[in-house]
Structures are given as structure tokens and as C-alpha cells.
Amino acid sequence: MGLNLPVPAVTIGLLICSNLFMTLAWYGHLRFKAAPLALVIAVSWLIALPEYALQVPANRTGHGYFTAAQLKTIQEVISLTVFAGFSWLYLGERLGWQHAVGFGLICMGAWFVFHDWS
């Protein structure tokens, strides 16, 4: 018995999960600056592997329902959202009004990508 979820839900869910892994792979090591760089790279690659295992099916599932440009736009908005939470919760970095404005402008750009101009 399988779940019959809508394509957007599957695509976006997989992209969210993949971005959690990739953000951890790219930025998680920043709290461990004393660790040897070679070790950090190896661990980051291991963390990134599940990201690819989620990202590829997300794009395969979503393509056709979404255009490639729309898929990339969804991924970027999710990436920024995950990163904002990660940098605040994990790295303890403060996000200011300028970040909100910048992310908001990117989201406005996403609206243009998804708007049907025909």
C-alpha cells in the first residue's frame, strides 16, 4: 500500500529533506574549526550523499509538472529558508532586517518565475 501524494508535495518534501542534509554538509563544520580540514571534507561528503539521493528523485518527480527553472527556484527558496533557520538555531547567528529584505526580494523573483505571463 503506497501513498499517492500529489507531485508538488513529493517534490517539495524531498527538496526540503535534501536541503537539510546539504546545509549541514556545507555549514555544519563551522562549529568545529579545530577539526582537520581533510576530516571535515570527508564527513561533509558523507552527509551530502543522502542529499543527492533525495535531490535527484525530487527533480525527476517534479520535472514535467514543474519546469527546470521552477524546480531550481523552489530549491533556492527552500535553501534560503533552511539556511536562515540553520544559521540562527545551529550557528547562533543573528538575522537582521537586511536579511529579511534580501530573502524577500528573492521570493519576489520566485513569484515572477511562477507567474504565467501568456
Least confident of 13-17, 30-34, 84-88, 114-118: 114-118
**Domain range summary for the chain, segments of one domain joined by +:** 7-114
Q: Judge whether residue 60 has pLDDT over 80.
A: yes
Write down the pLDDT at residue 118.
Answer: 81
State the average pLDDT over residues 56-60: 97
pLDDT score of 107 more than 80: yes
The DSSP string of 23-84 is HHHHHGGGG-TTS-HHHHHHHHHHHHHHHHHHHHHHHHHHBTTB-HHHHHHHHHHHHHHHHH
First to last CA, the chain: 41
- Give the pLDDT confidence of 64-73 residue by residue, as tens digits: 999 999 999 9
